[in-house]
Amino acid sequence: MRTCPDFSIEKNCGKKIIAGVDEAGRGPLCGPVVAGAVVFLSHDIEIPVVIRDSKQMSEKQREAAYDWITNNPNILWTTAQCSAREIDEMNILQASLTAMKRAISALKCEVEYCLVDGNKMPQGLIGESVVKGDAKSLSIAAASIVAKVTRDRIMKDLAKKYPQYEWEKNAGYPTQQHLQAIDKYGINEYYRKTYRPVKERIEKNASS
């Protein structure tokens, strides 16, 4: 049974300017990790689209929700990212937390409280982490949608440069077809070289 998020957590915070924060792209072998931050200026807003954990939504639902969120004058939003190189330098957890901090810093308001999906809080942010937050908080769910759609669009743009990897279809995740493409065409600058499937192929090529 799917859980529909609401504003219960936000309304219990005792703060006015509350940002939901989530990321997309921890698992892929390539591309950036993208964080979204969303502030609903009113928690009595009518929501005419589906907003829940972006992984439970179809692409059409995510696109409709993204358009509504990003064009609504009662919602503030931003995205930020860490590149594949940064992920290799600091590890994916720290890169995800860094992207979240960058997203919060880019918001055009003074955030009083952050609701962060997961069990880790980025250092320096005031707020709380919420396990499965995108299934509980509408602010976090909205942030997950903004992050996911933004990242998917980035990968589709990169796919125009490197069509052989079909990133527009796999978004950089290690599907069988994607791994076969890596074996055939090699590794480029957008790959995360510390991720095991990529690292193993680098080491294999170096020893052959």
For the chain, give the percent of residues with pLDDT over 70.
98
Token pair for residue 194?
């510390």
Answer whether residue 2 shows pLDDT above 80.
Answer: no
**Dist. CA 113–CA 9, nearest whole Å:** 11
3-state SS track over the chain:
CCCCCECHHHHHCCCCCEEEEEEECCCCCECCEEEEEEEECCCCCCCCCCCCCHHHCCHHHHHHHHHHHHCCCCEEEEEEEECHHHHHHHCHHHHHHHHHHHHHHHCCCCCCEEEEECCCCCCCCCEEEECCHHHCEHHHHHHHHHHHHHHHHHHHHHHHHCHHHCHHHHCCCCCHHHHHHHHHHCCCCCECCCCHHHHHHHHHHHHC
- Read off the pTM: 0.96
Query: For 170-183, how does the pLDDT look when each residue is reduced to its tens digit (9 = 90+)?
Result: 999 999 999 999 99
Give the confidence band of 207 by pLDDT, cuts at 50, 70, 90: confident
Answer whether residue 24 shows pLDDT above 90.
Answer: yes
Answer whether residue 1 shows pLDDT above 50.
Answer: no
Q: Write down all domains in the chain, each with its CATH number in brackets.
A: 8-153 (3.30.420.10)
What is the helix (H) or strand (E) element at residue 23, kind and residue range?
Answer: strand 18-24
Task: Kindly report the average pLDDT of the chain as a whole number.
Answer: 96
What are the angstrom distances between the C-alpha of 116 and each of 39, 107, 113, 123? Answer: 12, 15, 10, 12
- Tell me what the mean pLDDT of segment 131-156 comes to: 97
Answer whether residue 139 shows pLDDT above 80.
Answer: yes
Q: Which residues, in sequence order, are bridge partners of residue 129?
A: 116
Sort residue 124 into left (φ over 0), alpha (ψ -120 to 50) or beta.
left
